[in-house]
Structure 1
Amino acid sequence: MADFQKIVQELMFWSEGIAALISLLYYNRIKNQYWKYFVFYLIFVFVSEAIGKWGDTFMEYNKQAFYNYFVIPIEFIFFYWLYAAKSFGRPKLFVILSFIYLLSFIPSEFIFTYDKVMFSLNYTLGCLILMILVVMEYYKQINSSNILDFDKNRMFYINLGVTLFYIGTLPFWTFFELLKPYREIYNIYFAYFLISAIVMYLLFSISFIWGKQNS
């Protein structure tokens, strides 16, 4: 890995920590709102990344399985809940989308081996579902009577961050195995993956600082 990528990867990790810390500082303001679960989510992400970074120093575990079967599914399901159940007020949609996503693990068991960095079938489906929710959220915001106050809408920052990271890196993880031999393209896209993650967690932090949504 190039020195630049190592530095940016380190910055990505600490951007997750900063987002978790800032969310904790604002916890008392939102502890009676569903947004408190976003705080728990950010803490979960940071702790999970810390385990991924240093866990093998203290214990033996399968890092790929840890992310593919535990961390990534929780991340997707949390966003399905945040968008479908909370932003759109459609809890049944959340259940349906989560069920469809979880079903994709069945064919993955027959397609992928445990040493794969990413189960592309699950990730692709998870991102496609999330992309639909992102578009719906943009449509909701554009048609909102409060469109001029978009900078006070916490979901605006979250939606933008999700767009840049999850939707922006969808081709990278979908075609990960095919891209690896083409190192120049791979390195460019991997750099985008790291930088977009940093931007996303900065936007998540900003959502607590500038976002004034009280629901």
Structure 2
Amino acid sequence: MTDFQEFISRSMLWVEGLAAFIALFHYNRIKKQYWKFFVFYLILIFLCEAFGRWGNFTYFSKAKYYNYFVMPIQFIFFYWLYAAKSLKKPKLFFILSTIYLLSFIPNELYFSGSKIVFAFNYTFGCLILMLLIVMEYYKQITSQEILNFGRNRMFYINLGVTLSYIGTLPFFALYSPLRKHLEIWNIYFDYFLISGIVMYILFASSFIWGKQSS
């Protein structure tokens, strides 16, 4: 990584920690709502990323840690938040989660297991998430609360997820080919890091300005 990328990478970790701290600070206000699980999620992801940077990978590789633990937690949590809670379609959550988990089968059969991010698995997970993002945008646009979007916690979350997960979809889908073109790869990698910081700032903002009561 370049010096700039290393700085942004470290900054993203601490922004994740800041988002988790802000979420925990607002915990008492939302502890009787399902949003408390978003607090737990942010804390868990910060701890996971901290372990990914400073942890001991003697007994398992960093690739397995991210692909079989960290990434599934992120995707399945967002499927739950979007489908089961925001869109109120719990059956859709179970269906999409099952489809995502089944995507590990072709990944194991046909793709390399040594990468930090499985391109096929990540791409498939993002495509499912993209469907939920579009449904969420449609819900927000057609809602009577559209004029008060700044008070909608899901507005901040949806925007952050769009910028980071969907914005970096081409980067991870074409990760190996892009490695042959380092100038383009570095541009995408810079965007990946910066969009991650923006996403966690938006997550923190959702607790500060979001006023949903359920």
Indicate whether the TM-score tops 0.5. Answer: yes
Q: Distance in 2 between matches of 1:45 and 1:59?
A: 21
Secondary structure of the 1:14 match is helix
Following TM superposition, by how much is the alpha carbon of 1:113 offset from its aligned partner in structure 2, in angstroms?
A: 2.8
Matches within 5 A, 1:1-215: 1-56=1-56, 59-215=58-214
How far off its partner does 1:116 sit? Answer: 1.3
Deviation by residue 1:129-180 (Cα, 9 ceiling, x = unmatched)? 1001001101100010011100000000000000000000000000101100
Q: Counterparts of 1:101 and 1:61 in 2: how far apart (Å)?
A: 23
Deviation of 1:59 (Å): 4.9
The C-alpha deviation readout for 1:102-143, integer Å capped at 9, x for no partner, is 000001111223311211111111000100100110110001
Amino acid at match of 1:113: S
Letter in 1 for 2:167: G
Measure the CA separation in 1 of the matches of 2:58 and 2:177: 32
Counterpart code for 2:110: I
Residues of 2 paired with 1:198 and 1:60: CA distance? 30
**C-alpha distance in 2 between matches for 1:131 and 1:113:** 25
SS at match of 1:117: coil
1: distance between equivalents of 2:106 and 2:59?
Answer: 27
Q: Normalising by structure 2, what TM-score?
A: 0.98
Count, aligned residues: 214
Q: Where does the alignment leave 5 or more consecutive residues of structure 1 unmatched?
A: none
Query: So what's the TM-score if we normalise by structure 1?
Result: 0.98
Q: CA RMSD in A?
A: 0.9
What percent of counterpart residues are identical? 65
Unaligned runs of 5+ in 2: none
Which portions of structure 1, spanning 4 or more consecutive aligned residues, are displaced by more than 6 angstroms?
none
* In structure 1, C-alpha distance between the alignment counterparts of 2:12 and 2:77, rounded to whole Å: 20
